[in-house]
Chain A
Amino acid sequence: MLYALEARHAPVVSLWVWYHVGGRNEVPGTTGMSHFLEHMLFKGTPKHPKGDLDRLLARYGAQWNAFTSEDVTCYFETVPKARFETALELESDRMRNALISVEETEAERTVIVSEREGYENDPSFLLGEELQAIAFSRHTYGQGVIGSKDEIKLMTRDGLYSHYRRFYAPNNAYVVVTGDDEPERLIEQAAASFGTLEPSHDLGEPPKAPEPEQHGERRVTVHRAGGTLPIVMLAFRAPRATDSRAAAISALAVALAGTSTGSDGASGRSSRLHRALVETGLAADVDASFQLMKDPFLFLTDATLRPGVKHADVERVLVDELSKLSTDLVAEDEFARVRRQLLASTAFNTDTITWRAYRCGQLLSTGAATSIGDWYAKLAAVTREEIREAAAGLFVERSRSVGWFVPEGDAS
C-alpha cells in the first residue's frame, strides 16, 4: 500500500515504511524478536554492506531512525528532496535483502540488552511493564515490545531471519511519503522501488488471542530502591483504533491531562488531573494517554507523587476524577478548551513533514481513519455527550488494573 501527501514548505521528503509486525506477533520464548529484528535491519544487505547507506544518509543530513511497537515496526528517513531516491533505495533493498549474519546478531545482542538496561533504570518503565503484563491474560499485548532480557539473550539468527522473511514484504507494509513534490510523482517513485519486490507467501493470519472480559480489579506493586518518588498508574481496557469511540476517548485524555509538554510545561494546567493532583500538592506530575492500536489496548493514567504523599490518597483522587467524567457532562467552556487543544495539536504535529507522514501512517496502519483529514473530522465531531459515554464505558472498576511503585531504601 502506497500513500503520498504533499508538503511544500521545505525542500525535503519524508519516507516511512510501516510493517505489520510487532510485539503482538510474538510468543513466549521469543519476546522482543520484532524489536531485535529492527536493529538488524541496520546491518547491511549484499548490495549495500553495513555502514554504506548510513554514511550516505549522514552526508545528506538525513533524519532517520526506526521504532517497534506492539503493532508495527517502522522505518523512516527525512532527506533533502534531491535525495529521495537514496531513501527509497535503502528501504526497498532492506525490505527483502537484509543479511542478518550470525556475527552481527551477536554484536547487536549486547546493544539491545544495553537498551533494555537503560529502560530498567527508569521506575516508570519498570511499573508500566508490570502493569501491562497483568492487564492482559491472553493477548500478546501483555508481553510489551522489547522482550525479557533472558529471551533477548536466547534469540537466534535463524529465528530472526525467519521472522524477517515472513513479515518484511510489500504485501505486509504501508509506505507513506510526505514532501515537496506532487503526490502522484512521489507515489510513482515509490512504486518503482517497491513494486517489483517479491511478496511474502507466509504471512498467515494476523495473531488472534482475544482478551477475555475482565471481571475484577487487578493490582501490582513494584518495590525498588531505584526511584525516590512513589508512582500510581491506572490502566483500563480501551477499544481498538477502529472503534467509533476512539476520537471521544482521545478527547477524554486531553480533558484529563491536556496535550503534554512535559512536567515543566505551561500548557495543560487547566486539565482535570493537573488541578486535582498537581495544584493540590499531591503529585509532581500527571499524565493520561490513549493510543490508537489494532486490538483493544489500555487507557492509562499515572501520577508521580510528591514526597511523603500516600499512594492510596492519590489513587482515590484519580478514581474520583475519572468517575466524575463518567457521570457529568464537561462544562461548555471546558469542552471548548479540550476541543481546541485536541485540534490544535493535530495541526502542530502535521506542520512538521516527518510527523505528518508518521501521523498518516499511524492512522492508516491501525485503521483509525482513512487520512489525516478524516481523523481531524472525527475529532472535530466529538460531543460532550460522547466524552461522558466514553468515560462511562471505560472507567469501570472491574476492568481496572492498578500499579504502585513503592520506593525502598538503599538496596545495595
Chain B
Amino acid sequence: MNRVHRSVLANGLRLAVVPIADLRSTSVLLAVEAGQWFEPVGRPGIARLVAQTMLRGTARRDAAAWASELDALGAVARLDVGAHAAVFSAQCLGDDLSALLALIAEAVRTPALADAEVEFVRGQTLARLEKDERDTRAVSDRAWRQLVYPTGHPFQAPAIGDAEVVRSATPAEIRAFHKSAIASDGAVLVVAGGTTAEAAKDAVGRAFGDWPKRAKPRDANYPQATLATAKRRVELVPDKTQSDVIIGWPGLPRTDPRFTAARVTNMVYAADTFASRAGNVIRDQLGLAYYVFSAIGASRGQSPWIVRMGVNPQNVRRAIEVALDELRKITAGQIAEDDLAVAKDKLVGELDVALESPAGVAAMVLEAEMFDLGEDHFERYPRELRAVTKEQVVETARAFLPPERYALAVAGPALPEALA
C-alpha cells in the first residue's frame, strides 16, 4: 500500500489521500453517515430517496445543468446508500479532481431537493420496486431480512426501502433527513490515484473546507436481532426457472474485535465459490449450483451474514442440506489445516492484488477510516488475519453461524417438496 496521507478538516471531515504514480485517473469516495443505520425508525428508504434527490439539482444549477457539468469532465459517479453510509463514488482524470470535488460538494451540501425532483425520484424508485417484485434475488433478500430483523430495525428492509414509505415520503421529510444526516461529522473522504497529497488536500479544502461543522449522534440504539430457532420462508415468483436461496444470520459490527476472525471463518465456509468448502462441495463436487458464495457486511450494526445460491428447484432442498452440513463440520471443529491456511492466504493475498486499481485502494482505505481501524491498520491487518486460529474459527462459527438457528429464504418457481 502506498503511503496514506491523513488529515482532518476543521469541520471534522476526515481526509485520506493515496497518491499512485503513473495513473491518469483518480478515484474519490465520500462516505457520509447517512446509511440505513441512521434512518428514522420505521422509515426504510428515506436515506436512498434523499441520496437520489441530491443528484437532481443544487442551489446553483438544475438537474440537467449539474449532469452536463459532470459529463463535461468525462467523470463517472454514483451515490449509493449502504447499511452504514451514503457513499459518493466517482472517478475522474487527475486534472479534473478539483472540478469533480466541487460538483460533489455542491450536491452534498446544497442540493435543491425541490418538490418536482422528489416526485421524479419517487417515480423512479417505485418503478424499481415494481421490477423487484419479480426479481428472485430481490424477493429472497427482502424475505430474509423480514425473518431476521425485528420491526423498526434499520436492516429489516433493503436500502431501497418499502413502497409505502416511498409513496408517503414528503419533500419536507426528505429535507429534514438531509439536514440531520448529511454532515461533515463522521464523514470520510478518500482520494486515490493520479494526484499528489498537496493537490488533493487543496482541492478538498476548497470544496469542503467551509462546510459548517455540526455534531450529530453517531450511534443509534436498536434492538438486537437474534434467531431462537430456524426460520424459513418460500416466496413463489412466477415464470422463473431458478430459485434464489439465502441462508443467513445477523452478523457483527465491523468494530467488533472478532471481525477479522469472522472474515477468515467466512472464507473457510463459503465466501469463494472455489476456495471455500460450501462452493467446493455444492458446485464443484455435486454440480448443484452455478454460484454459491457468502458475504459478511461491514457496518456499525449486525449486517447480514449470508450464503447465496442460485439453484434449480429440484435441487434446492439438497443444496441447503449440504450448505448446513458443511457448516456443522466447521462448528464441530472438522477444519482441515490446509483449508484454514488457504483461507488466510487468500485474504492476505487479495490485499496485494487490490492495489492494481485506484478504486480498490480507495475502498480499502475507506473501510479503515470509516470504522477507525487505526493508522497502522494496513500493517497489522495481514498479521491479524494470519494469526486467526482454528479454535477462533470454530468459536466464531458457533457464536454467529449456529447451524440449527438460521433464517432461510427461497424465491423462485414452486418447489417440488416442502422444506423441512
Residues of A bordering B, CB below 8 Å: 7-12, 14, 50-51, 54-55, 58-63, 78-80, 106-115, 117-118, 120-121, 224-229, 258-259, 261-271, 275, 278-279, 281, 284, 304, 306-307, 333, 336-337, 340-345, 347-348, 351-355, 407-408, 410-412
Contact yes or no, B74 A261, CB < 8 A: no
Contact yes or no, B290 A284, CB < 8 A: no
30 interchain pairs, CB-CB under 8 A: A51-B284, A58-B275, A60-B349, A63-B353, A80-B349, A109-B287, A114-B287, A114-B288, A114-B289, A121-B240, A226-B134, A226-B239, A228-B130, A229-B127, A263-B128, A266-B70, A266-B77, A266-B107, A267-B77, A268-B71, A270-B70, A279-B120, A284-B124, A342-B74, A348-B25, A351-B23, A354-B357, A410-B238, A411-B238, A412-B238
Contact yes or no, A12 B353, CB < 8 A: yes
- The residue of chain A having its C-beta at the shortest distance from the C-beta of B413 within the complex is A412
B4 interfacial contact with A, CB 8 Å: no
Contact yes or no, B241 A307, CB < 8 A: no
Once the chains are docked, how many angstroms separate the CA of A250 from the CA of B373?
44
Contact yes or no, B356 A266, CB < 8 A: no
Contact yes or no, A336 B72, CB < 8 A: yes
> A259 — which chain B residues lie within 8 A by C-beta?
74, 76
Once the chains are docked, how many angstroms separate the CA of A146 from the CA of B349?
32
Contact yes or no, B78 A261, CB < 8 A: yes
> B9 — which chain A residues lie within 8 A by C-beta?
none
> A284 — which chain B residues lie within 8 A by C-beta?
124, 127-128, 131
Taking the nearest CB of chain A, how far is it from the CB of B300, in angstroms?
23
Residues of B bordering A, CB below 8 Å: 20-25, 52, 55, 63-64, 67-68, 70-80, 90-93, 107, 120, 123-124, 126-128, 130-131, 133-136, 193-194, 236-242, 244, 272, 274-275, 280, 283-291, 310-312, 315, 338, 341-342, 345-353, 355-360, 412, 414
> Known contacts being A61-B352, A281-B120, is A351 close to B193, with CB within 8 Å?
yes
Once the chains are docked, how many angstroms separate the CA of A341 from the CA of B120?
26
- Shortest 7 CB-CB contacts between residues of A and residues of B: A61-B349, A344-B74, A269-B67, A340-B74, A226-B239, A58-B275, A225-B239
Contact of B74 among A121, A306, A341 (CB under 8 A): A341
> Known contacts being A228-B133, A347-B24, is A55 close to B342, with CB within 8 Å?
yes
Once the chains are docked, how many angstroms separate the CA of A62 from the CA of B350?
7
Once the chains are docked, how many angstroms separate the CA of A290 from the CA of B170?
41
Once the chains are docked, how many angstroms separate the CA of A107 from the CA of B282?
11
Contact yes or no, A306 B123, CB < 8 A: yes
Once the chains are docked, how many angstroms separate the CA of A163 from the CA of B8?
60
Knowing that A61-B353, A110-B312, A267-B75 touch, tell me 9 more A-B residue pairs with CB under 8 angstroms.
A10-B355, A59-B349, A114-B310, A120-B241, A121-B244, A226-B239, A227-B134, A340-B71, A340-B72
- The residue of chain A having its C-beta at the shortest distance from the C-beta of B276 within the complex is A58
Once the chains are docked, how many angstroms separate the CA of A185 from the CA of B70?
41
Contact yes or no, B242 A262, CB < 8 A: no
> A258 — which chain B residues lie within 8 A by C-beta?
71
> B194 — which chain A residues lie within 8 A by C-beta?
351
> B289 — which chain A residues lie within 8 A by C-beta?
111, 114
> B24 — which chain A residues lie within 8 A by C-beta?
347, 351
> Known contacts being A12-B356, A78-B356, is A58 close to B72, with CB within 8 Å?
no
Taking the nearest CB of chain B, how far is it from the CB of A16, in angstroms?
14
> B136 — which chain A residues lie within 8 A by C-beta?
121
- The residue of chain A having its C-beta at the shortest distance from the C-beta of B77 within the complex is A266
> Known contacts being A118-B290, A284-B124, is A411 close to B74, with CB within 8 Å?
no
> A115 — which chain B residues lie within 8 A by C-beta?
290
> Known contacts being A9-B23, A114-B310, A347-B25, is A229 close to B131, with CB within 8 Å?
yes
Number of A-B contacts (CB under 8 A): 241
> B25 — which chain A residues lie within 8 A by C-beta?
344, 347-348, 351
Contact yes or no, A228 B131, CB < 8 A: yes
- The residue of chain B having its C-beta at the shortest distance from the C-beta of A111 within the complex is B287
Once the chains are docked, how many angstroms separate the CA of A110 from the CA of B350?
30
Once the chains are docked, how many angstroms separate the CA of A14 from the CA of B76?
25
Contact yes or no, B22 A8, CB < 8 A: yes
Contact yes or no, A79 B131, CB < 8 A: no
> A279 — which chain B residues lie within 8 A by C-beta?
63-64, 120
> A341 — which chain B residues lie within 8 A by C-beta?
71, 74
Once the chains are docked, how many angstroms separate the CA of A225 from the CA of B390?
48
Contact yes or no, A267 B71, CB < 8 A: yes
Contact yes or no, B356 A306, CB < 8 A: no
> A107 — which chain B residues lie within 8 A by C-beta?
284-287
Once the chains are docked, how many angstroms separate the CA of A284 from the CA of B75?
22
Taking the nearest CB of chain B, how far is it from the CB of A176, in angstroms?
15
> B20 — which chain A residues lie within 8 A by C-beta?
9-10
> A410 — which chain B residues lie within 8 A by C-beta?
238
Contact yes or no, B238 A306, CB < 8 A: no
Chain A CB count within 10 A is highest, among B64, B287, B412, for: B287
Taking the nearest CB of chain A, how far is it from the CB of B27, in angstroms?
9
Contact of B126 among A59, A121, A227, A307 (CB under 8 A): A307
> B90 — which chain A residues lie within 8 A by C-beta?
266
Once the chains are docked, how many angstroms separate the CA of A268 from the CA of B55?
12
> A225 — which chain B residues lie within 8 A by C-beta?
134, 238-239
Contact of B242 among A78, A117, A411 (CB under 8 A): A117
> B74 — which chain A residues lie within 8 A by C-beta?
259, 337, 340-345
- The residue of chain A having its C-beta at the shortest distance from the C-beta of B74 within the complex is A344
Taking the nearest CB of chain A, how far is it from the CB of B399, in angstroms?
26
Once the chains are docked, how many angstroms separate the CA of A381 from the CA of B79?
33
Taking the nearest CB of chain B, how far is it from the CB of A170, in angstroms?
27
Taking the nearest CB of chain A, how far is it from the CB of B120, in angstroms?
7
Contact yes or no, A264 B78, CB < 8 A: yes
- The residue of chain A having its C-beta at the shortest distance from the C-beta of B361 within the complex is A10
> B236 — which chain A residues lie within 8 A by C-beta?
412
> B353 — which chain A residues lie within 8 A by C-beta?
12, 60-63, 78-80
